Structure 1
């Protein structure tokens, strides 16, 4: 087998592979000879089947295995001899001429094919000790705990009929029948019977509940309300509807004492224990918000600090995934690029930029993790599988077996764990200061640069526990090395 490099440009490499017919014939005969000792063919004693007879029966299928083995061998030889770190699986281009393929499969002709691949870029990591970051934190106030417990109480509150002629007030629960129309035409989902409505809960479209204030049981009203522009059903978004409403009952909330007995109804020993539980849960939520914000801040800074050539194949793969999601969302919502005040060309450029960011950060985190020898312990994977199984009550064993028998799925659990550990490693080296902020600032959602940023959230690396030197394919990730993809 002869291997000749024909292209070395940037991260791209191409090689010509030549297998003479004599080598193909020798490998074929060797395989057939091994088969001969085991073959059981009617009319021949074991081990006595003529090679030519085996060649006529099995020649092409055996040669197909020979060619595949040659391709695998060529791939390995190229990587080993040149000490390459592949960005993704090599692309093999066999001859387009079918007669050439047929001749090779019959060992009558030589076989030439091409292997094209991309390698991972090399870049300097630098010193993270000069990286300055700010961690936002917030205290859990007693008033917030009280508000949270009040919401729990609202969910358990009982209601009593207000009596004949009583008018509904804010906070009351009314039971209604309604029939909705848009431009005089009934629409799907626009009618309901015996529907309870808690006035002031904002569970119906804006303006609907407010128009029930002052209504009495037995009263009929026409309510006009407009569906939000971002309503889930595209056909109704932004449309104004008229609802013929019949009020059937009006009920007032009954007093509910928030005390130890109330806490006991929620499975707590006392009201103090309930408050402690709520405080801990809110503190955990605040910690997550804090973590998300400093991680985003870190990734934004890394994105501006590091610039290096990216494997085109990985960027294309990432872009294709994002674009497929964008297209799917447009089809389901019925919206176009014009509705978003952009064009397809401009959107493609923006999403391409997101794909490049993800690839860049994925490769960077992979390299950082590899050099820091970040590893994932077996118990961390087990805990991730258990957490996943708990999301499917009654199917825990099936979920456990699925991940135990599916390495790709297991890798999708492993990689985000790896990513978080790499982020922790960098944060441990950086200069991190803390700043207390109001709750509202801490929990404010992260702003995405583009609507597609949500669609471009990380798909983690399948090779999360492999050293960068040996990981040779990225699976669904941007990096062939250990790290997963960072959040955009």
Structure 2
């Protein structure tokens, strides 16, 4: 193997690798001899077909396989010989390759820069500590109670209004013919909940216990049952009872309703949840301080390919966020309605991309130097957590990660980063600062506002016509709420290209750098 250096500038390297034709022929011969043992050809006993004949017939067909194997093997040896650590997967291009000729290919790459890891023991960090106050527990339990609404029977003369519940029997028909799924007895319907066909609940405002009413509505054109879509229906409704909402008392009964023994148990459970919230917020502040300190402690050149990839990912995230905003205002909005980020925005985020790439390389190097590993059990737990987001499809999610190396790398990346952060925090000087809950929120929100990644992208068009929300009829399934969390991009370990693939929806939560 001959390695010729074509370029060596900054972090960029270009090599031309030449593999003699004799080496390729030897590999072909070895493959032919192995195949000879089992091949069957007319006129020859099994395993006795002449190697020269097999090579003449199948030699060219073997070249593709041998090319791939040879490039993989020799490119790894070339990197080892040159002492290069590629920052991303090298770009390989075959210059010439044919039967009886030398294999010549070029390998273009950027290497991981050389830099010194700062003295981690000299890092000075602040950890916010918040004590759970009784008023926080009481307020949280009060909020829980408000979500456990009770309905009490109202007087027979009481007229139902929005927010009340009615206990009804009903039978629906279209053109005088009853239809499947259009009848129920003893159904509790909260007026104003929009769980029935548009116009249905409004017609029951003002009814009293014992009333009978024909409710006439039209099924939406988009209704899932084609035989009902767009058709007018009549529901004969009997009002058995009108119920008024009543607040749930904060007592042992509330705790038992939630599966706990008594109010004291509920208070303890709520206290634990609040402590977890405090812990997460405290770590957010602490980690930001750590990343800021590390960023200030290092300054080195980063691979251009990694920087370009990070910039592209940030711009894509900005556009996606802008599109979500437009969709919230107008479901008919299109991706092209989102304005391209301005040059000013691009310049601002270019600095963020540089910081992220540099920190990613630094954290990777710290982890590598100190043999920090992510265990298989940790990966399995992370995949299980991701699979729980897709009820009924858990097995497919597991298979997705098992079959896709990029997806597996993406699930490992945040786990690896958190372990490296934990390692650094153990070495750094961390001083605790006691603050109130309100003060901690104030500090976190100020940090959020200061982070450019939190700024709202510009919108090109305000929706001219806001499309009415489509409601499913008879019984509409409640809309699922998706908690959107902005997740700035994080670099994968330096030795591998950043993974960008995720199942169905964005899978891994990325740390804000």
Describe the shift of the 1:486–1:253 C-alpha distance in structure 2 as closer, same or farther (beyond 3 A): closer
- Alpha-carbon deviation of 1:127? 1.3
Give 1:40-439 correspondences, 5 Å limit.
Answer: 40-51=40-51, 53-95=53-95, 101=96, 104-107=97-100, 109-160=101-152, 161=154, 173=163, 196-197=191-192, 217=206, 252-331=244-323, 333=326, 334=333, 343-393=341-391, 396=394, 399=397, 403=401, 408-439=406-437
Describe the shift of the 1:486–1:308 C-alpha distance in structure 2 as closer, same or farther (beyond 3 A): farther
After superposition, the C-alpha distances for 1:348-377 in whole angstroms (9 at most, x for unaligned) are 333333322221111111111222332334
Give the Cα separation in 2 of the matches to 1:50 and 1:302. 66
Give the Cα separation in 2 of the matches to 1:105 and 1:280. 69
Name the TM-score, length of structure 2 as normaliser. 0.68
- Alpha-carbon deviation of 1:389? 4.3
Name stretches of at least 5 consecutive residues in structure 2 with no aligned partner.
167-188, 194-204, 208-238, 327-332, 457-484, 501-508
2:372 aligned counterpart, secondary structure: coil
Describe the shift of the 1:400–1:383 C-alpha distance in structure 2 as closer, same or farther (beyond 3 A): same
- Alpha-carbon deviation of 1:277? 0.6
- Alpha-carbon deviation of 1:273? 0.8
- Alpha-carbon deviation of 1:344? 3.4
Describe the shift of the 1:405–1:352 C-alpha distance in structure 2 as closer, same or farther (beyond 3 A): same
- Alpha-carbon deviation of 1:75? 0.9
Query: Pick from 438, 448, 453: which aligns with 1:450?
Result: 453
Give the Cα separation in 2 of the matches to 1:156 and 1:306. 53
Stretch deviating more after TM superposition (295-304 or 152-161): 152-161
Describe the shift of the 1:317–1:456 C-alpha distance in structure 2 as closer, same or farther (beyond 3 A): farther
1:183 matched residue in structure 2: none
1:450 aligned counterpart, secondary structure: helix
2:265 aligned counterpart, secondary structure: helix
Describe the shift of the 1:316–1:61 C-alpha distance in structure 2 as closer, same or farther (beyond 3 A): farther
The answer to whether the aligner puts 1:487 opposite 2:498 as a matched pair is no
Aligned length: 400
CA RMSD across the alignment: 3.6
After superposition, the C-alpha distances for 1:433-488 in whole angstroms (9 at most, x for unaligned) are 22222323323443331348975524574x6xxxxxxx8423528xxxxxx97522
- Alpha-carbon deviation of 1:254? 2.1
1:105 aligned counterpart, secondary structure: coil
Describe the shift of the 1:56–1:410 C-alpha distance in structure 2 as closer, same or farther (beyond 3 A): same
After superposition, the C-alpha distances for 1:403-454 in whole angstroms (9 at most, x for unaligned) are 5666554443333222112112222222222222232332344333134897
Query: After the TM superposition, which segments of 4 or more aligned residues of structure 1 sit over 6 Å from their partners?
Result: 162-168, 248-251, 335-340
- Alpha-carbon deviation of 1:36? 2.7
Give the Cα separation in 2 of the matches to 1:17 and 1:61. 23
After superposition, the C-alpha distances for 1:173-218 in whole angstroms (9 at most, x for unaligned) are 2689xxxxxxxxxxxxxxxxx87459xxxxxxxxxxxxxxxxx948
Give the Cα separation in 2 of the matches to 1:455 and 1:351. 15
